[in-house]
Amino acid sequence: MTQVRKRLTAADVTRVRTAVSGLADQAFGLTERIAAASAAGLAGKDAPRRADLAAVEPVVVPFLADAAQPVQGAGFVAASGLLQDAGWWLEWFARDADDRPQRLVTHSEPQAIGFYDYEHLPWYVVPRETGLCHVTGPYVDYLCTEEYTLTFTTPVLVDGRFCGVAGADIAVKNAERVILPALRAAGARLAVVNSFGRILSSNSGRHLCGDLLDDVDFTEIPASHRIGDLPLAVVPLG
Amino acid sequence: MAVPFYGRASAAVFSPLESLSRSELVVRRLTDAIALGLLPDAEQLPGELDLAGIFGVSTVTVREALSVLRSEGLIETRRGRGGGSFVRTPANGVGHLAQRRLGRFSLGELRDLGDVYAAIAGASAALAARRSSPEDADRLRRVADVLAEAKAPDARRRADAQFHIEVAAAAQSPRLYHEEVRLQAEFGTLLWLAFGDDDSHAQMTRSCRAVVAAIAARDPHAAREAAEQRVADSTARLIDYQLSEDRS
């Protein structure tokens, strides 16, 4: 018996887009609030210090404490040289193994082992260069979560000057849990990919999370298949 | 004595537990780091609570380990404000520390560790070649540049470690990444004993470039081969090093 391949319908695409957009809205809802809290603390200061970022913690920690939402870590990442008392700084909080929010401890001395140099990483570079929100991943975040991760970042500007990024991490396995029902409901094979054609999630065992789809030209994907302005889109699988 | 037979599938379940105690493992990890210059002289260690959290052991275990390190003169603990535990590089250098650890391995065991490391490094590189975007390849190229430009032995070791980590991450596999980290802790620390001089540095820089070129070309076979060769070269160098040290 030959199987008839069903066509991808508009409803299939919409369901998946809605699920992915829902994740992005949650993450960016948080990063916008972190950005506002950071900018308010930094505004009007010629030589800001770490203490001026104190308003980030009360925004992030209660959010992370809600186990029902998928963000597992979030905070503000300072541009190097911004703060008087730390060359590099992450005002960052993440859930620990017991799901309790904890402050992230990293070295800010470039010579120290475990130093966290973020100024060449895409989740930092892209918002700085474009001034726009960005989604990085899926990628192995070996600097922080040590998990397969999506990182949502928003640039933080004070008086037009770039001061750093506000970010939120969602583990790919948690994103998948949210997207999978929509993928399962689809009548045909499809995948959510990033702008490199890297698969975030799909409903095909042959095209798995992390694989690259070689034939994806992201600029050619119609707006109806894109996730807003984000570097994510829904594509049919051949 | 009866030897129970559980069949092959259960071998992993009933294999012996790690023979060292938890505190001995913490001692070994910190001694390795001091021996390799990853924890330089006068560096302050994290507090007992933080160390317990980092290693996933109790504070009692950490205290035991610190007391061993103290009795060996590898750390100094100061009380009061500005106090804590600080690294003390021994006056006669760190070579003998590393030598002591290396001396526990037979040549065959070193070869065996090298085989496993080559398997992990090769698989990571092959997957990285299949799954790397041009952006990933650029990042690997930058890490290779850092290695090429590093001058001091410990900077070269850090760059070498970073390169392996980046390849495992480019494979898009958290498990391969974790396996890489585990092997670096167990075996990389030994390999670095024989790595850091100009000769080994030139060789490692060349092989690094070969791995990057194969990944950028999306050629999994060449990437696997180059990564396996890279580990085989390091292992051979370590074995030569141990043979030459034994003679003296």
> Are A186 and A110 members of one domain?
no
> Are A161 and A199 members of one domain?
no
Q: Is residue A208 part of a domain?
A: yes
Q: Is residue A156 part of a domain?
A: yes
> Are A136 and A203 members of one domain?
no
> Are A51 and A128 members of one domain?
yes
pTM for the structure as a whole:
0.80
Contacts of B40 (CB under 8 A, 6+ apart): B87, B89, B154
Whether B40 contacts B89, CB under 8 Å: yes
In this structure, what token pair is assigned to residue B129? 């070649």
pLDDT digits (tens, 9 = 90+) for B186-232: 888 788 888 888 999 999 999 999 999 999 999 999 999 999 999 99
Candidates A113, A147, A211; nearest CB to B38: A113
Please check whether residue A118 touches B, CB under 8 A: no
Q: Nearest CA of chain A to the CA of B177: how many Å?
A: 8
Single out the residue in A148, A171, A194 at which a domain terminates. A171
Q: Please state the domain count of chain A.
A: 2
Please check whether residue A236 touches B, CB under 8 A: no
Q: What is the pLDDT of residue B47?
A: 86
Q: Sort out which chain B residues have CB atoms less than 8 A from A212's CB and list them.
A: 130-133
Q: Nearest CA of chain B to the CA of A150: how many Å?
A: 12
Question: What CATH number does residue A151 fall under?
Answer: 3.30.450.20
pLDDT digits (tens, 9 = 90+) for A181-198: 999 999 999 999 999 999
Q: What is the DSSP string of chain B?
A: -------GGGTTTTSPPPSS-HHHHHHHHHHHHHHTTSS-TTPBPPPHHHHHHHHT--HHHHHHHHHHHHHTTSEEEE-STT-EEEE---TT-SHHHHHHHHTTS-HHHHHHHHHHHHHHHHHHHHHHHHH--HHHHHHHHHHHHHHHH--SHHHHHHHHHHHHHHHHHHTT-HHHHHHHHHHIIIIIHHHGGG--SHHHHHHHHHHHHHHHHHHHTT-HHHHHHHHHHHHHHHHHHHHHHHHHHHH-
Q: Is residue A127 part of a domain?
A: yes
In the predicted structure, residue B126 carries a pLDDT above the cut 70: yes
Task: Select the residue from A98, A103, A105, A113 to test the B interface by mutation, using most B Cβ atoms within 10 A.
Answer: A113
Q: Is residue A91 part of a domain?
A: yes
Q: Is residue A4 part of a domain?
A: no
> Are A109 and A191 members of one domain?
no
SS (H, E, C) A159-225: CCEEEEEEEEEEEHHHHHHHHHHHHHHCCCCEEEEECCCEEEEECCCCCCCCCECCCCCHHHCCHHH
Q: Sort out which chain B residues have CB atoms less than 8 A from A140's CB and list them.
A: 168-169, 171-174, 177
> What value of ipTM does the predicted structure carry?
0.77
On the question of a cis peptide bond just before residue A138, with omega within 30 degrees of 0, the verdict is yes
Q: Is residue A5 part of a domain?
A: no
Band of the pLDDT at A107, cuts 50, 70, 90? low
- Which is more confidently placed, B72 or B40? B72
pLDDT digits (tens, 9 = 90+) for B15-68: 555 567 888 889 888 887 777 666 778 888 888 888 888 888 899 999 999 999
In this structure, what token pair is assigned to residue B71? 């009795």
Range of the domain at A204: 10-18+174-236
Q: What is the pLDDT of residue B4?
A: 45
> Are A118 and A210 members of one domain?
no
- Which is more confidently placed, B118 or B6? B118
Mean pLDDT computed over B128-147: 93
Q: What is the pLDDT of residue A93?
A: 94
Q: What is the pLDDT of residue A77?
A: 95
Band of the pLDDT at A111, cuts 50, 70, 90? low
In the predicted structure, residue A113 carries a pLDDT above the cut 90: no
Q: Nearest CA of chain B to the CA of A198: how many Å?
A: 8
Q: What is the pLDDT of residue A116?
A: 62
Single out the residue in A139, A171, A203 at which a domain terminates. A171
Q: Is residue A3 part of a domain?
A: no
Band of the pLDDT at B82, cuts 50, 70, 90? confident
Mean pLDDT computed over B142-156: 90
pLDDT digits (tens, 9 = 90+) for B94-123: 667 767 778 888 888 999 999 999 999 999
Candidates B132, B133, B177; nearest CB to A140: B177
In the predicted structure, residue A135 carries a pLDDT above the cut 70: yes
Q: What is the pLDDT of residue B247?
A: 46
> Are A96 and A185 members of one domain?
no
Residue B173 to residue A146, Cβ atoms within 8 A = no
Q: What is the pLDDT of residue B159?
A: 87
Candidates B39, B131, B171; nearest CB to A212: B131
Segment among A10-24, A111-125, A134-148, B26-40 with least mean pLDDT: A111-125
> Are A55 and A150 members of one domain?
yes
Residue A113 to residue B135, Cβ atoms within 8 A = no
Candidates B39, B142, B174; nearest CB to A147: B174
In the predicted structure, residue A94 carries a pLDDT above the cut 50: yes
Band of the pLDDT at B248, cuts 50, 70, 90? very low
Q: Sort out which chain B residues have CB atoms less than 8 A from A139's CB and list them.
A: 169, 172
> Are A105 and A183 members of one domain?
no
Residue B133 to residue A210, Cβ atoms within 8 A = no
In the predicted structure, residue A60 carries a pLDDT above the cut 70: yes
In the predicted structure, residue A2 carries a pLDDT above the cut 50: no
The H or E element spanning position A234 is: strand A232-236
> Are A144 and A115 members of one domain?
yes
- Which is more confidently placed, B101 or B170? B170
Single out the residue in A125, A145, A171 at which a domain terminates. A171
Residue B177 to residue A146, Cβ atoms within 8 A = yes
Residue B172 to residue A196, Cβ atoms within 8 A = no
- Which is more confidently placed, A4 or B210? B210
Q: What is the pLDDT of residue B79?
A: 85
Q: Nearest CA of chain B to the CA of A223: how many Å?
A: 23
Q: Is residue A104 part of a domain?
A: yes
